[in-house]
């Protein structure tokens, strides 16, 4: 397993370039269903089956959950175990890399819970300002 190392300062600005490989990783982690799937798997004390995840992630479609889990497996964040039963039984769990990513996404989730009311209040205030017609200067 690779150990994480900080990029030299001159390399960090490269993350803003469209050809930087880290962009593809950020694109995956920035997906809302990825955040929720990582959180659900991280909070579970055992691997979860597909339908268990689907029930936990209210609003996700079967197709979106399949795509999300496939992307996470491809990126090495989720381990998929298939048991030879009829029908096949499939379980999902986080890899070491997935556990580490789950810590990052948990921080985003925790911040969101703590500040949801403030964000909602800011949205309401913005929408009220935006819906008020401009007033003439006096």
With both helix axes pointing from N to C terminus, report the angle between 96-131 and 32-43 in degrees, rounded to the nearest 10: 130
CA–CA separation, 22 vs 12, rounded Å?
10
Q: Which domain holds residue 63?
A: 20-130
> pTM, whole model, 2 decimals?
0.79
Determine the Cα–Cα distance for residues 88 and 53; give it in Å rounded to an integer.
Answer: 17
Give the integer Cα–Cα distance in Å for 48 and 52. 6
For position 41, which CATH number holds? 1.10.10.10
For 94-134, the pLDDT digits (tens) are 999 999 998 998 899 999 999 999 999 999 999 998 888 88
pLDDT tens readout for residues 19-62? 888 888 888 888 999 999 999 999 999 999 999 999 999 999 99
Q: Number of structural domains, the chain? A: 1
Name residue 34's beta-bridge partners.
none
Cα distances from 131 to residues 23, 29, 54, 134, in angstroms, run 36, 34, 38, 9
* pLDDT band of 10, cuts 50, 70, 90: low
73 CB-near residues (< 8 Å, 6+ apart): 79, 80
Residue 9 predicted with pLDDT over 70:
no
Q: Is the pLDDT of residue 79 over 70?
A: yes
């Amino acid at each position: 397993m690779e150990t994480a190392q900080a990029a030299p300062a001159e390399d960090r600005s490269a993350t803003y370039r469209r050809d930087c490989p880290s962009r593809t990783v950020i694109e995956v982690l920035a997906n809302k269903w990825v955040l929720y799937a990582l959180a659900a798997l991280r909070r579970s004390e055992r691997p979860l089956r597909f339908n268990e995840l689907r029930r936990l992630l209210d609003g996700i479609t079967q197709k979106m959950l399949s795509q999300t889990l496939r992307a996470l497996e491809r990126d090495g964040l989720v381990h998929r175990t298939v048991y030879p039963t009829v029908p096949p039984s499939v379980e999902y769990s986080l890899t070491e890399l997935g556990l580490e990513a789950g810590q990052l996404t948990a921080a985003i989730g925790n911040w969101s819970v703590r500040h949801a009311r403030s964000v909602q209040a800011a949205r309401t205030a913005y929408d009220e300002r935006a819906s008020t017609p401009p007033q003439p200067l006096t």
